Structure 1
Amino acid sequence: MPPKDDLELQKLRKELDDLMTKIKEEQNKAADKTLEDICGDVASAPKVRLTTKKLLKGHINKVNSIHFSGDSRHAVTGSLDGKLIIWDTWTGNKVQIIPLRSSWVMSVAFAPSGNYVACGGMDNMCTVYDLNNRDSTGAAKIVRELLGYEGFLSSCRFLDDKTIITGSGDMKICLWDLEMGKRSLEFEAHSGDVVSISLSPDSSSYLTGSVDKSCRLWDLRDDKPKQTFFGHTSDVNSVCFHPSGYAFATGSEDKTARMFDIRSDQNIATYHPPNNTSGFTSCGLSLSGRYMLCGSDDSSVHIWDTLKNQHNGCLTGHENRITSLSVAGNGMAVATCSWDQNVRVWV
């Protein structure tokens, strides 16, 4: 006979599975319409015709992450060559090159003000750099090294110059006070690695995506999820708030992208690529929310008309897996980075 503790654990797991099944059944009962059904009489969106305006070359290894600054002009990229590069995406010039202590960078973030960048990865820490101050070598000065993670740093986003939120492979979310160098909040957010974070348009809440196949909505002041969203059958690699703040998009390893509605607590649209052979690593939405863009393992960016659930085309040019995608705050450009060592700005 199994030990008593094992029997108790099996009983609790079954109880949890039954509850999850019941929640999903209740959700399905309320799912009377999809976004495509509601928008049946809406005209199809025009075909997106973006081209590579700037091809940014400078990294000599895989580029893993990219993020636009709040000015919609500058962007930061992190690569396995052990460098962060600050780019002027309008001219294609490098503004700063920052050498890293660890080359295993997985996530980068630009503060909305443009004063700071942060990065982290397999070094299990988040490092914050002040772009307006230089150290003795002439590189941007390290102002904080945020330690204490028990897993890799997978995602980070600045709320402002004094606050940053991070997700990591130890399943935790941390909210940091950068002036004090201390955590304001720390809690276990998922039952698997947290791999993506997206802030709401008003910066009062945020979303997380995880390898546990779920997404969660959080209030910045609390450590309890407001809502949990199911539907994906594999890792949720990317989450992105809709500009309205009432919905969000996701990209997953299960070869689908989805739109979830927060108010109805539902998956309201599922987007499939024409070939259906590659998972999605990153996702973004246009300024209106009408177009969804997803970077893929097949080296292209897939675009959908979100309302009509129609595949609108692909952005091609990268020669390897697209790892990260960032839409400029003003909606005028999209930047992508890839294992082909290049960064492309699409306009």
Structure 2
Amino acid sequence: MPPKGDSETQALRKELEELYEKLKEAQQGAADVKLEETCSGVADAPKVKLTTKKLMKGHLNKVNSVHYSGDSRHCVSGSLDGKLIIWDTYTGNKVQIVPLRSSWVMSVAFSPSGNFVACGGMDNMCTVYDVNNRDATGVAKMTRELAGYEGFLSSCRFLDDKTLITGSGDMKICMWDLESGKKTADFPGHNGDVVSISLSPENNMYVTGSVDKTCRLWDIREEKPKQTFFGHEADVNSVCFHPSAQAFCTGSEDKSARLFDIRSDQQMALYEPPNKSSGFTSCGLSLSGRFLLCGSDDNNIHIWDTLKNQHNGCLPGHENRVTSLTVAPNGIAVVTSSWDQNVRVWG
């Protein structure tokens, strides 16, 4: 006979699943039309013809994360070789190489101003460097080591030069004041590792993705999520706010990408590649929001027309898993990183 606790847990799990099914039915009942049907009169989007403008070599191990600066020119990449590299994407040159205390980097972030970069990973810490302030050896000075996580640091994003949001393997989201180096908020975010964070265009909201298969929408002033979005059947590896600030896209381990609408509180579109064979690690939207780009385990970047739900093609080039994807704030280029040790600029 199973212990009493086990049967109670199973009963609660069953009740939760039934509530979830009722919620899904109510949402579907409110969905009166499909996005692709509404957009059937819209002209087909042209074929995207992005090519590799710069192949940036310099890392000596897998590159796990890349992120654009607010100037749409510089980006930072973090690798298991224990280095951050700041690149000039126009020339393909290295601007700075920052050696790290820990080589297990999982996430990097560039502040919108371009003054700071942050990184973290399996060291259970987020480290911030001042790009404009260098030590005697010419390396960017470390300004903060933000400790206090009970799990690995999986994601970080700057609101501005003074504020940083982080997500971690202990299922928490933290807000940090970088001037004091202190945590200003620390709250349970998900029922599994927080994997990805994306800020809204106005910087007043953010969305998170998690291994608990859900995405959650947050107001930066509040410690509880405003909305929870269901639908994915595996880890949500990446989230990306839509330029309209009314929706967001996701890339998941379940071999699909999706568009969720905030106002209708539900999924609007499901994007699947023609050959559904590998999961998506990262996602990004074009400046208009018309094109969705997703980095994949199959070494390619897949592109969809978001309105008509049409697969628009692939960007081949990387020789291993594409780990991260960042779209320039001005929309003119896309940068990707991969386990093939390279960083590519597409335009």
TM-score when normalising by structure 1: 0.98
- Equivalent residue number for residue 302 of structure 2: 302
Deviations 1:276-307 (A, max 9, x none): 10110000000000000000011110001111
Q: What amino acid is aligned across from residue 211 of structure 1 in structure 2?
A: V
1:243 partnered with 2:253? no
- Equivalent residue number for residue 195 of structure 1: 195
- Give me the whole-angstrom Cα distance separating, in 2, the residues matched to 1:46 and 1:255: 25
- Equivalent residue number for residue 278 of structure 2: 278
Alignment of 1:221-260 (within 5 A): 221-260=221-260
1:131 partnered with 2:134? no
Alignment of 1:120-269 (within 5 A): 120-269=120-269
Q: What amino acid is aligned across from residue 50 of structure 1 in structure 2?
A: L
Deviation at 1:35, TM superposition (A): 1.1
- Equivalent residue number for residue 22 of structure 2: 22
Deviations 1:227-280 (A, max 9, x none): 111111111000000000001100001111111111001111111111110110
Deviation at 1:15, TM superposition (A): 2.9
- Give me the whole-angstrom Cα distance separating, in 2, the residues matched to 1:76 and 1:2: 52
Deviation at 1:120, TM superposition (A): 0.2
- Give me the whole-angstrom Cα distance separating, in 2, the residues matched to 1:111 and 1:279: 29
1:113 partnered with 2:113? yes
Q: What amino acid is aligned across from residue 313 of structure 1 in structure 2?
A: G
Counterpart secondary structure, 2:164: strand
Deviation at 1:117, TM superposition (A): 0.1
Report runs of 4+ in structure 1 exceeding 6 Å deviation: none
Counterpart secondary structure, 2:187: strand
| 300-309 vs 30-39, which moves further | 30-39
- Give me the whole-angstrom Cα distance separating, in 2, the residues matched to 1:18 and 1:275: 33
- Equivalent residue number for residue 315 of structure 1: 315
Does the CA contact (< 8 Å) of 1:199 and 1:241 recur in 2? yes
- Equivalent residue number for residue 341 of structure 1: 341
- Give me the whole-angstrom Cα distance separating, in 1, the residues matched to 2:96 and 2:321: 26
- Equivalent residue number for residue 60 of structure 1: 60
Deviations 1:25-60 (A, max 9, x none): 211111222211110111100011111111101001
Does the CA contact (< 8 Å) of 1:33 and 1:268 recur in 2? no
- Give me the whole-angstrom Cα distance separating, in 2, the residues matched to 1:311 and 1:5: 48
Deviation at 1:11, TM superposition (A): 3.6
- Give me the whole-angstrom Cα distance separating, in 2, the residues matched to 1:4 and 1:254: 34
Unaligned runs of 5+ in 2: none
Q: What amino acid is aligned across from residue 244 of structure 2 in structure 1?
A: S
Deviation at 1:5, TM superposition (A): 4.1
- Equivalent residue number for residue 82 of structure 1: 82
- Give me the whole-angstrom Cα distance separating, in 2, the residues matched to 1:183 and 1:335: 31
- Give me the whole-angstrom Cα distance separating, in 2, the residues matched to 1:5 and 1:314: 50
Unaligned runs of 5+ in 1: none
- Give me the whole-angstrom Cα distance separating, in 2, the residues matched to 1:7 and 1:296: 40
- Give me the whole-angstrom Cα distance separating, in 2, the residues matched to 1:116 and 1:237: 25
Deviation at 1:2, TM superposition (A): 4.5
Counterpart secondary structure, 1:213: coil
How many residues were matched structurally? 347
Cα RMSD of the aligned pairs, angstroms, is 1.1
Identity of aligned residues (%): 77
Deviation at 1:4, TM superposition (A): 4.5
TM-score when normalising by structure 2: 0.98
- Give me the whole-angstrom Cα distance separating, in 2, the residues matched to 1:277 and 1:31: 29
Q: What amino acid is aligned across from residue 109 of structure 1 in structure 2?
A: A
- Give me the whole-angstrom Cα distance separating, in 2, the residues matched to 1:288 and 1:35: 17
Deviation at 1:3, TM superposition (A): 4.5
- Give me the whole-angstrom Cα distance separating, in 1, the residues matched to 2:221 and 2:20: 26
- Give me the whole-angstrom Cα distance separating, in 1, the residues matched to 2:79 and 2:226: 34
